[in-house]
Amino acid sequence: MAEWAARLAGVRAVVLDISGVLYDSGGEGGGVPIPGSREAVRKLKASGLKLRFCTNETQATREKFVEKLQRLGFDILVSEVTAPAPAACRILKERNLRPHLLVHDGLVPEFDQLDKGNPNCVVLGEAADNFSYQNLNEAFRVLIGLENPILLSLGRGRYYKETDGLKLDVGVYMKALEYACDIQAEVVGKPSKMFFQSALAEMGVEPQQAIMIGDDIVNDVGGAQQCGMRALQVRTGKYRPCDEQHPEVTPDGYVNNLAEAVDIILKQLDK
Amino acid sequence: MAEWAARLAGVRAVVLDISGVLYDSGGEGGGVPIPGSREAVRKLKASGLKLRFCTNETQATREKFVEKLQRLGFDILVSEVTAPAPAACRILKERNLRPHLLVHDGLVPEFDQLDKGNPNCVVLGEAADNFSYQNLNEAFRVLIGLENPILLSLGRGRYYKETDGLKLDVGVYMKALEYACDIQAEVVGKPSKMFFQSALAEMGVEPQQAIMIGDDIVNDVGGAQQCGMRALQVRTGKYRPCDEQHPEVTPDGYVNNLAEAVDIILKQLDK
């Protein structure tokens, strides 16, 4: 038995990363399910454990994203997903902020309900081709013109992999604007503690009652552990063998994929 | 008399920044001379002091840039200008590096003599519209594919001002790639010590024999002082009143413009 499986007492909830755990993104149809992951989600739902999906996906609205996953055969609902854009919307409303958006076109509808005139902050998402010199200059000018520049970044990832190669992620552009304006961004999304806490609150469990399963050693595993949760790294998605020698983060355990993780967890909790 | 003028003993050489000191860039004709600066350069040349121009300009080759300044009425020669691209070329040759270029189209000819096949480093300059998502991804993929990623950045400026507004400078994209690849760039250009030292070597003087005159509190004034030179800040170009409360850099003196600086220096050295 895996060593980590012996320390599962008290676990009542599972938090799943999506990209690289449930499916690999990119290509026709928007991606390919990772073998066994659809069945693993069904087993978790049948087990009585609480379940929540926690993603940094910001290329589409939560609705469109969930539709795609349903088409790929996953048993998943919009209400089960914690994502950066809806979290950012809550923050913007609470603080009376009017955002200038530099995000993917597909994400814009998430912010439909907000006043965007005379902006007093910038919201940065993974914007792909929208990360043009002109658009970055525009976002910069908004920030540098503010007495108290506020930059909300939907994640702090360095890069991700699509079928046609590695792509720079939102964190890279966050660092660019931080340096340009000599400010610190507020990160909404993994690995932010607040983001994991909101996923836990949705399930009504404490951090020590939850286990995170993700492919990203820093954003999934490190972030969840910082929040007091246990965390497993899957050897799928963006996992690389060198992650197992990461200088700062050591997962509670490794599994080959989600299916293996779920089988071990359910077997152990059955005892 | 200005306090700094009393401490000019031993000064034998003057180093001038160009943009914001000699002229303001942008608009028709490529810029407008700052009043009195053409005459000031002529006076310096007649004085017997050694003179060198030290610029971070990387939108055009040194030849094209000097041609523009000559058209604007400045007495300046290519051989009198220390600029990042020729310095980078020397470094690339010495270290057998084959660059992938992410620079302004106008700068590319500076690298004509170098082998650029199968690149083993990236050279980053102020690339303006060439800073597209696609081009940045390409530079990133070159770096992340190298066992020992080398990034040479032609300057580390945050932003600059053109007639149509503030623009992000090369340092912002340097920070972006540094974060993406978890590396440190090597800066060629001000405020790098090596860059000021090569300007001093061209004149055959020691740092304590030279005085820098620039508009950029960090890159001109701070960089020159780090190198052991004295440095004045002009109240032209990108100078802002808040520079006078800069937390880390205090110039040896302030002057309203280059003309005033040169008049005071020449009067004092005449004594």
Q: ipTM higher than 0.85?
A: yes
Residue A189 is predicted with a pLDDT of: 95
Residue B1 is predicted with a pLDDT of: 58
How many Cα atoms occupy the beta-carbon half-sphere of A239 within 13 Å? 22
Pick the CATH number of B95-187 from 3.90.180.10, 3.20.20.70, 3.40.50.620, 3.40.50.1000: 3.40.50.1000
Residue B153 is predicted with a pLDDT of: 97
The answer to whether A8-56+190-270 and A85-187 have equal CATH topology is yes
Pick the CATH number of B10-56+190-270 from 3.30.360.10, 3.40.50.1000, 3.40.50.11540, 3.30.365.10: 3.40.50.1000
Q: Which fold has domain A8-56+190-270?
A: Rossmann fold (3.40.50)
Measured CA to CA, the distance from residue B91 to residue B198 in angstroms comes to 12
Instruction: Please indicate whether, in this complex, the C-beta atoms of B130 and A128 are within 8 angstroms of each other.
Output: no
Shortest distance, CA A23 to any CA of chain B (angstroms): 23
Strands A159-162 vs A165-168: parallel, antiparallel or unpaired: antiparallel
User: Which of A10-19, A31-40, B24-33, B36-45 has the lowest average pLDDT?
Assistant: B24-33
Shortest distance, CA A236 to any CA of chain B (angstroms): 20
Measured CA to CA, the distance from residue A161 to residue B209 in angstroms comes to 54
Whether A195 has a pLDDT exceeding 90, the answer reads: yes
**Nearest neighbour of A172 by CB, restricted to B165, B167, B179:** B179
Segments making up each domain of chain B, as ranges: 10-56+190-270, 95-187
Measured CA to CA, the distance from residue B269 to residue B10 in angstroms comes to 9
For chain A, the average pLDDT equals: 94
Closest CA to B207 of B230, B232, B189: B230
Chain B CB contacts of A167 below 8 Å: 137
**Nearest neighbour of B144 by CB, restricted to A129, A136, A166:** A166
Shortest distance, CA B53 to any CA of chain A (angstroms): 26
pLDDT band at A1 (very low <50, low <70, confident <90, very high): low
**Which of the 8 DSSP states describes residue B19?**
B
| CATH superfamily label, A85-187 | HAD superfamily/HAD-like (3.40.50.1000)
Instruction: Please indicate whether, in this complex, the C-beta atoms of A132 and B133 are within 8 angstroms of each other.
Output: yes
DSSP assignment string, A214-245 = ES-IIIIIIHHHHTT-EEEEESSTT--GGGGG
> How far apart, in Å, do the first and last CA atoms of chain B sit?
13
Shortest distance, CA A138 to any CA of chain B (angstroms): 9
Peptide bond into A191 cis (omega under 30): yes
| Paired tokens of B131 | 């800073």
Using a CB–CB cut-off of 8 Å, the residues of B that contact A are 127-134, 136-137, 140-141, 144, 158-159, 165-168, 171-173, 175-182
Residues of chain B with pLDDT under 50: none
Whether A81 has a pLDDT exceeding 70, the answer reads: yes
Shortest distance, CA B112 to any CA of chain A (angstroms): 26
Q: Please state the rounded mean pLDDT for residues A130-158.
A: 96
Instruction: Please indicate whether, in this complex, the C-beta atoms of B141 and A165 are within 8 angstroms of each other.
Output: yes
Instruction: Please indicate whether, in this complex, the C-beta atoms of B172 and A182 are within 8 angstroms of each other.
Output: no
Residue A219 is predicted with a pLDDT of: 94
With a CB cutoff of 8 Å and minimum separation 6, the contacts of A201 are none
Using a CB–CB cut-off of 8 Å, the residues of A that contact B are 127-134, 136-137, 140-141, 144, 158-159, 165-168, 171-173, 175-182
A171-190 pLDDT per residue, tens: 999 999 999 999 999 999 99
Which residue of B lies nearest to A135 if distances are taken between CA atoms? B132
Q: Which amino acid is at A157?
A: G
Residue A270 is predicted with a pLDDT of: 79
